[in-house]
Amino acid sequence: MKVIYHPSFTQVYTHDPAAEPGRMEAVVAAIEDRVAFLEPTPATMDQIALAHTKAHIDHVNAMGLYEIAALAAGGAIQAARIGLTEPCFGLIRPPGHHASAGSSWGFCYFNNMAIALLALREEGLIRRALVLDIDLHFGDGTVNILGDKGWVTIHNPSARDREGYLAEVDQALTGVRPDLIGISAGFDFHQEDWGGLLTTDDYRSIGRKVRDAAQGAGGGCFAILEGGYNHRVLGQNVAALLDGLAR
């Protein structure tokens, strides 16, 4: 599988759990013998402006975080574009799903998922999309930007029991016909992370379910990294999701 990644994502760009040293390295170590890494190019200002106001873009720039956030957004666009023909994963940071059109919080600056889908829509590459956000925290920014777009369906499973959560994933993927399914892949719902709910094999199962749904719709699929903060298990969980997407 192709994985979008850049060495710049290892830099500690601010002080929060998403930017901690060793986080990206833990994932690379777990998957490097089974994937092909591709380096992204930054999203353009015009692409970022599809999702964000000028004032917000200027704010991110004033914080000194524009370059790394634009690189992450560019990685999401590339992962989405490759995902049209084969499953792809964006090993990117900063994460994005708490970034709204004019504001952000929760370790996010630009909404990588929203920018990717809007950019592909702008290019005429997709007509309909589905976002499955499996992060522990609700993807409010993605809903803020894409929630009123009739061509996007967004699902944030809310069950707090394992069987109910996986049933919600099944329901979200049943009978859908999108051109592209994007996973906002947070791994902080793992049993050994903040959420304490899902097993490593559950991420493999979710990947497989998404791949099957995409194939059934005649479309593609991709995933991008959001949360996940226990470095000891994060790489294993990413590897499991990729295994599911690849099969």
Closest residue by Cα to residue 79 from 33, 48, 39, 47? 39
> How far apart (Å, rounded) are the C-alpha atoms in residues 242 and 30?
11
Catalytic residue among 6, 52, 97, 98: 98
> How far apart (Å, rounded) are the C-alpha atoms in residues 121 and 124?
5
Roughly how many angstroms between the first and final C-alpha of the chain, as a whole number? 10
Question: Within its chain, how far is the Cα of 44 from the centroid?
Answer: 19
The string of DSSP codes covering 99-158 is: B-SS-B-TT-SS-HHHHHHHHHHHTTS-S-EEEEE-SSS--HHHHHHHTT-TTEEEE---
- Residue 193 contacts residue 187 (beta carbons within 8 Å): yes
- Residue 87 contacts residue 245 (beta carbons within 8 Å): yes
Q: Is 52 known to be catalytic?
A: no
Name the burial class of residue 123, with classes exposed (0-12), middle (13-18) and buried (19+) by CB atoms within 10 angstroms of its CB: exposed
Question: What is the helix, strand, coil percentage profile of the chain, to 5?
Answer: 45, 15, 40
Catalytic residue IDs: 98
